């Protein structure tokens, strides 16, 4: 979108604070899972077979980060695309970047798979959907719309074995209601008792400082969680990744609010530097409005985001970015779709005051900017975790300025920190696999 904290790089590697936030929040959710026996029981539903499917899931995720090898031609392409996210014309006519070309569209297809204890990612034109757990396929398409407008479309499919999409969805629901009928100390104690290996690895980066469930008169529970990040601990084992997180997370704040279309709020998350606070109210595993009432959370929602971060000497931010948030549930799929149609209020450096800002509205016009994450199973095939991104950018002076700023974060990450992050994530998923067993 307007700058890299809102726009993933086309190759799927995100930069600026959102990259760190993405993996940090994922890790927080995984650790919090240890506080909930319901999470484990849902994820391993079906006895020994269910536990084997969960083991397969975490084995596939761990393999994805095991001694990751990027071939030179893939590494070169991902670097060029990362730097051209906001200025696509820089790569549109570069024949060395793409695996397929038509008059208006360029396509890059690459795949990943485990080979002799390593995970190899390479260009793979015509690659089929992945089948073996841990295999992946990525397709990045860049379409020229007019003289300065371009559309990015990214589709990623990752095979996680045979776990059911419903089991994954039910496990997430169980996680959100983990504190129902329990004390905060019991919840925290379960982190160490139920998932000891996971909590040990996760503690390298964050701690679950407090869980405060309050039983209300109507029988619902309002839960408040405080999670703190500790990039200084990460430095002991992974100094470059710890430095990267310190540099970009310490100056980042964001506020996420999930409401229904009548304005009732169902979830709130506030991050200020190294502290993340989350509030949710549940009853019988169902989310209810924080302000009271008995209406169960609908599947059609709104997500509002305020975000601020600092890159070099400049502070960048946005306020009131409102997205349609839809939860999809069918017999074989669980999905989460975000669509932004309305441009937010921008907080940009004073040096951009004279630059034309109308290009910042382009990503929200027409179909808007879209992101979809889905888990889909099938009777005779593998379960796939898929994500789709669609965003339109209009090249301009202001995007050129923002592209130059975001390039610093990309370089900071890709030079050293990315390898250390891969290793920490491998350790985390291996620990989850050990604890599930």
Q: Do residues 85 and 410 touch, judged by C-beta distance below 8 A?
A: no
191: pLDDT strictly greater than 60:
yes
Supply angle C-alpha 275, 279, 285, rounded to 5: 135
Average pLDDT over residues 431-435: 89
Q: Give me the mean pLDDT over the 379-393 stretch.
A: 94
With beta carbons less than 8 A apart as the criterion, state whether 417 and 241 touch. Answer: yes
Q: Cα-Cα-Cα-Cα dihedral of 24, 299, 333, 152, to 10°? A: -60
Range 405-410 average pLDDT: 72
Helix (H) or strand (E) holding 429: helix 418-436
Give me the helix-helix angle, 239-249 and 418-436, nearest 10°: 100
Write down the pLDDT at residue 1.
30
CA–CA distance, 103 with 425 (Å, rounded to integer): 40
Q: How far apart are the first and last CA of the chain?
A: 41
Q: List the single range of 99-108, 279-288, 409-418 with lowest mean pLDDT.
A: 409-418
Average pLDDT over residues 118-140: 96
Residue 1 lies in a domain: no
Range 308-331 average pLDDT: 90
| Residue 13 pLDDT class (50, 70, 90 cuts) | very low
Long-range (24+ apart) CB contacts under 8 A made by 86-90 are 86/3, 86/4, 86/7, 86/393, 86/395, 86/399, 86/400, 86/402, 86/403, 86/406, 87/395, 87/399, 87/400, 87/403, 88/142, 88/144, 88/150, 88/152, 88/393, 88/395, 89/148, 89/150, 89/395
132 near 351, Cβ under 8 Å? Answer: no
Given a contact cutoff of 8 angstroms between Cβ atoms, the answer to whether 122 and 74 are in contact is: yes
User: Is residue 23 a part of any domain in this protein?
Assistant: yes
Lowest mean pLDDT among 37-51, 131-145, 227-241, 397-411: 37-51
**Where does 69-181 have alpha helices with state H?**
72-83, 89-92, 165-176
Q: What is the pLDDT of residue 218?
A: 92
Confidence class of residue 41 from pLDDT cuts 50, 70 and 90?
low
407 vs 168, higher pLDDT: 168
Q: In terms of pLDDT, which residue wins out, 181 or 142? A: 142
pLDDT at 8 over 70: no
Residue 44 pLDDT greater than 80, yes or no: no
Task: Tell me the residue range of the domain where 370 lies.
Answer: 16-436
In a domain? residue 165: yes
Is 8 a domain residue?
no
Query: Which range (16-30, 154-168, 285-299, 302-316) has the least confidence?
Result: 16-30
Lowest mean pLDDT among 126-135, 317-326, 371-380, 401-410: 401-410
Specify the higher pLDDT residue, 361 or 16.
361
In a domain, 5, yes or no: no
pLDDT at 410: 74
Confidence of residue 408 (pLDDT cuts 50, 70, 90): low
Give the percent of the chain with pLDDT over 90: 53
7-26 burial, b if ≥16 CB within 10 A, otherwise e? Answer: bbbbbbbbbbbbbbbebbbe
For residue 166, being part of any structural domain is answered with yes
Confidence class for position 42, pLDDT limits 50, 70, 90: low
DSSP state string for 30-67? HHHHTT-HHHHHHHT-STHHHHHHHHHHHHHHHHHTSS
Residue 70 has pLDDT above 70, yes or no: yes
pLDDT of 368 strictly over 80: yes
Q: Please report whether residue 230 resides in a domain.
A: yes
Predicted confidence band of residue 32 (pLDDT cuts 50, 70, 90)? very low
Strands 206-215 and 68-70: unpaired
pLDDT at 225 over 50: yes
Mean pLDDT, rounded, of the chain: 85
- Rounded CA separation 263/299 (Å): 14
The interaxial angle of helices 16-33 and 165-176, nearest 10 deg, is 90
Cα-Cα-Cα-Cα dihedral of 200, 203, 205, 207, to 10°?
160
Q: For 89-108, what is each residue's pLDDT tens digit?
A: 999 999 899 999 999 999 99
Query: pLDDT over 70 for what percent of the chain?
Result: 88
- What band does 136 get if pLDDT is binned at 50, 70 and 90? very high
Domains held by the chain: number: 1
Residue with tokens 């060395």: 96
pLDDT band at 282 (very low <50, low <70, confident <90, very high): very high
Q: Is residue 10 part of a domain?
A: no
Q: Which residues contact 432 (CB under 8 A, 6 or more apart)?
A: 30, 33, 58, 195, 197, 198
Tokens linked to 173: 């629901």
Query: Nearest Cα to 429, choosing from 147, 89, 202?
Result: 202
Average pLDDT over residues 355-361: 85
Q: Would you call 357 exposed, middle or buried from its count of C-beta atoms within 10 A (0-12, 13-18, 19+)? A: middle
């Amino acid at each position: 979108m307007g700058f890299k904290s809102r726009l993933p790089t086309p190759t799927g590697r995100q930069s600026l604070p959102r990259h760190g936030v993405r993996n940090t929040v994922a890790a927080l959710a995984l650790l919090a899972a240890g506080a909930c026996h319901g999470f484990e029981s849902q994820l391993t539903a079906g006895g020994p077979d269910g536990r084997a499917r969960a083991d397969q899931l975490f084995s596939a995720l761990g393999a994805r980060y095991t001694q990751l090898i990027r071939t030179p031609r893939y590494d070169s392409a991902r670097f060029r695309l990362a730097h051209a996210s906001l200025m696509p014309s820089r790569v549109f006519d570069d024949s060395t970047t793409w695996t397929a070309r038509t008059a208006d569209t360029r396509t890059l297809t690459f795949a990943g798979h485990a080979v002799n204890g390593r995970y190899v990612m390479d260009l793979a034109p015509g690659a089929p959907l992945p089948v073996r757990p841990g295999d992946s396929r990525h397709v990045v398409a860049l379409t020229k719309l007019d003289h300065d407008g371009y559309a990015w479309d990214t589709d990623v499919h990752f095979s996680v074995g045979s776990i059911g999409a419903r089991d994954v969805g039910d496990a997430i629901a169980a996680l959100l209601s983990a504190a129902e009928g329990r004390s905060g100390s019991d919840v925290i104690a379960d982190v160490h008792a139920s998932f000891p290996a996971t909590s040990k690895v996760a503690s390298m980066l964050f701690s679950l400082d407090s869980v405060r469930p309050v039983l209300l008169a109507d029988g619902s529970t309002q839960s408040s969680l405080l999670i703190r990040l500790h990039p200084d601990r990460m430095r002991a084992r992974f100094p470059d990744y710890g430095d990267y997180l310190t540099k970009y997370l310490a100056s980042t704040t964001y506020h996420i609010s999930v409401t229904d279309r009548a304005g009732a709020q169902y979830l709130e998350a506030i991050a200020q530097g190294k502290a993340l606070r989350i509030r949710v109210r549940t009853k019988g595993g169902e989310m209810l409005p924080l302000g009271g009432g008995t209406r169960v959370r609908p599947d059609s929602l709104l997500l509002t985001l305020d975000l601020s971060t600092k890159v070099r000497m400049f502070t960048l931010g946005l306020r009131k970015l409102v997205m349609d948030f839809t939860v999809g549930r069918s017999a074989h799929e669980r999905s989460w779709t975000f669509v932004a149609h309305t441009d937010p209020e921008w907080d940009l450096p004073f040096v951009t005051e004279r630059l034309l800002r109308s290009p910042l509205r382009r990503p929200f016009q027409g179909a808007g900017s879209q992101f979809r994450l889905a888990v889909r199973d099938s009777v005779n095939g593998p379960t796939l975790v898929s994500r789709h991104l669609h965003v339109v950018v209009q090249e301009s002076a202001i995007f050129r300025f923002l592209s130059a700023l975001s390039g610093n974060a990309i370089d900071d990450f890709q030079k050293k920190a990315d390898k250390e992050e891969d290793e920490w994530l491998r350790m985390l998923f291996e620990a989850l696999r050990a604890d599930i067993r």
